[in-house]
């Protein structure tokens, strides 16, 4: 019946789309979080996770294609680290909504500002 086809083959997939898709998965968010404190080889990333090492490799691939992480080999090891490009793409996407719709809910925005002291 083939009624269910997203990404209707004409349109290019943007960076932020890949990024949202990537961070849409909890395991990938866990992996991403692990890299927050610095670069790690794959085994270190997989350690402690409930899923197998190949599964981790597959997740890393998705994160890499979303430009949320970088790879760099060091001998037999593949070291992954956070790549700001994906984060920037997502922030820019969110800011777009932020800016254009801001006037409609200014009060709510202000509320959030108060309890944060907003870094930078």
The residues that touch a second copy, with contacts defined as CB under 8 A, are 6-8, 17, 20-21, 23-27, 29, 32, 36-38, 50, 81-85, 87-88, 90-92, 94-101, 104-105, 108-109, 112, 116, 119-120
Number of CB atoms found within 10 A of residue 107's CB:
7
State whether residue 111 is helix, strand or coil.
helix
**CB under 7 A: which stretch of 10-18, 43-51, 88-96, 105-113 binds DNA?**
43-51
Closest to a second copy by CB, 73 vs 99, is 99
CA dihedral for 3, 9, 15, 16, sign (positive or negative): negative
Cα–Cα distance measured from residue 74 to residue 93, given in angstroms and rounded to the nearest whole number = 34
H or E stretch covering 51: none
Q: Is 17 in the site for DNA (CB under 7 A)?
A: no
Q: Footprint of DNA on residues 53-112 (CB under 7 A)?
A: 53-62, 71, 75-79
Stretch touching DNA by CB under 7 A, among 12-20, 23-31, 87-95, 103-111: 23-31
Q: Where are the alpha helices (DSSP H) in 24-78?
A: 26-34, 42-46, 53-65
The CA distance from 76 to 49, in Å, is: 22
Number of residues that bind DNA (CB under 7 A): 33
Residues binding DNA (CB under 7 A): 1-6, 21, 24-25, 27, 41-44, 50-62, 71, 75-79
């Amino acid at each position: 019946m083939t009624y269910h086809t997203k990404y209707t083959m004409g349109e290019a997939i943007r960076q932020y789309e890949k990024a949202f898709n990537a961070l849409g998965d909890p395991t990938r968010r866990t992996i991403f979080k692990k890299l927050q404190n610095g670069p790690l080889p794959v085994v270190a990333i997989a350690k402690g996770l409930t899923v197998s090492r190949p599964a981790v490799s597959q997740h890393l691939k998705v994160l890499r294609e979303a430009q949320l992480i970088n790879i760099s080999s060091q001998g037999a090891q593949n070291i992954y680290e956070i790549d700001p490009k994906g984060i920037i793409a997502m922030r820019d996407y969110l800011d777009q909504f932020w800016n254009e719709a801001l006037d409609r809910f200014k009060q709510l925005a202000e509320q959030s500002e108060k309890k944060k002291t907003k870094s930078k």
